[in-house]
Amino acid sequence: MAGAGSLISKKDLINELNVFPVPDGDTGTNMSMTITGAAKEVAALGDDYKMKDVCKAISNGSLKGARGNSGVILSQLLRGFTRKVQDCKTIDLITLSEAMTQGVDTAYKAVMKPKEGTILTVARAAADKAEELIKEDPEMELSAFCEQVFEYTRQALANTPELLPVLKEAGVVDSGGQGLLEVFRGALNVIQGKEVSYDFELKDIKSSSGAHVNKEAIANADIKFGYCTEFIIKLDKEFNEGTERSFKAYLESIGDSIVCVSMDDIVKVHVHTDHPGQAFEKALNYGQLTNMKVDNMREEHNERLFNMGGSRPVEIKLEEEKKDKNSKTDEKKEYGFVSVSVGDGLKEIFEALGCDCIIEGGQTMNPSTDDILSAVDKVNADTVFILPNNSNIILSANQAAALSDGKQVIVLPTKSIPEGICALINFIPEHDTDDNIKEIMQAVGQIKTGQVTYSVRDTTIDGQKIKAGDYMGLGNHTVMSVDEDMEKAAEDLIGALIDQDSELVTVYCGNEVSDEQADALKAELEDRWGEVEFEFHNGGQPVYYYIISVE
Q: Are residues 198 and 49 in the same domain?
A: yes
| Nearest Cα to Cα of residue 181 among 201, 156, 212 | 156
Instruction: Decide the pairing of beta strands 255-263 and 266-273.
Output: antiparallel
Q: Are residues 262 and 338 in the same domain?
A: no
Query: Residue 303: what pLDDT?
Result: 53
Note whether residue 3 is domain-resident: yes
Q: Are residues 401 and 484 in the same domain?
A: no
Note whether residue 153 is domain-resident: yes
Q: Are residues 43 and 166 in the same domain?
A: yes
d(CA 142, CA 148): 10
Query: How much of the chain, in percent, has pLDDT values that exceed 70?
Result: 85
The CATH number for 493's domain is 3.30.1180.10
Query: Residue 401: what pLDDT?
Result: 85
Judge whether residue 290 has pLDDT over 50: yes
For the segment 176-193, the average pLDDT, to the nearest whole number, is 93
Write down which residue in 384, 414, 437 finishes a domain. Answer: 437
Report CA Rg, the chain: 28
Query: How much of the chain, in percent, has pLDDT values that exceed 90?
Result: 45
Note whether residue 71 is domain-resident: yes
SS3 307: coil
* Domain with 507 in it: 448-550
**Angle 27-43/51-65 helices, nearest 10 degrees?**
150
| Contact (CB, 8 A) for 338 and 386 | yes
Number of C-beta neighbours around residue 494 at 10 A: 29
Domain count, the chain: 4
List pLDDT tens digits, range 462-481: 667 888 888 989 887 788 99
Q: Are residues 533 and 473 in the same domain?
A: yes
Q: Are residues 19 and 155 in the same domain?
A: yes
Distances (CA, A) of 501 to 497, 504, 524: 11, 10, 20
Note whether residue 50 is domain-resident: yes
**Phi, psi at residue 230, to the nearest 5°?**
-135, 145
List pLDDT tens digits, range 529-551: 989 999 999 999 988 899 999 99
d(CA 389, CA 374): 18
For the segment 278-291, the average pLDDT, to the nearest whole number, is 89
| Contact (CB, 8 A) for 231 and 292 | yes
Query: Residue 492: what pLDDT?
Result: 95
| Nearest Cα to Cα of residue 474 among 304, 306, 285 | 306
List pLDDT tens digits, range 20-35: 322 234 688 878 888 9
pTM here is: 0.47
Q: Are residues 176 and 233 in the same domain?
A: no
d(CA 532, CA 500): 10
| Contact (CB, 8 A) for 331 and 380 | yes
Note whether residue 312 is domain-resident: no
Q: Are residues 254 and 375 in the same domain?
A: no
Q: Are residues 98 and 191 in the same domain?
A: yes
Query: Residue 494: what pLDDT?
Result: 96
Label residues 516-539 b or e (16+ Cβ within 10 Å = b): ebbeebbebbeeebeebebebbbb
Query: Residue 26: what pLDDT?
Result: 67
List pLDDT tens digits, range 481-533: 999 999 999 999 999 999 999 999 999 999 999 999 999 999 999 999 989 99
Q: How confident is the model at residue 80 (pLDDT cuts 50, 70, 90)?
A: very high
The CATH number for 372's domain is 3.40.50.510
Write down which residue in 414, 437, 460 finishes a domain. Answer: 437
DSSP characters for 434-451? HHHHHHHHHHHTT-EEEE
Judge whether residue 310 has pLDDT over 50: no
Q: Are residues 269 and 376 in the same domain?
A: no
Q: Are residues 72 and 137 in the same domain?
A: yes
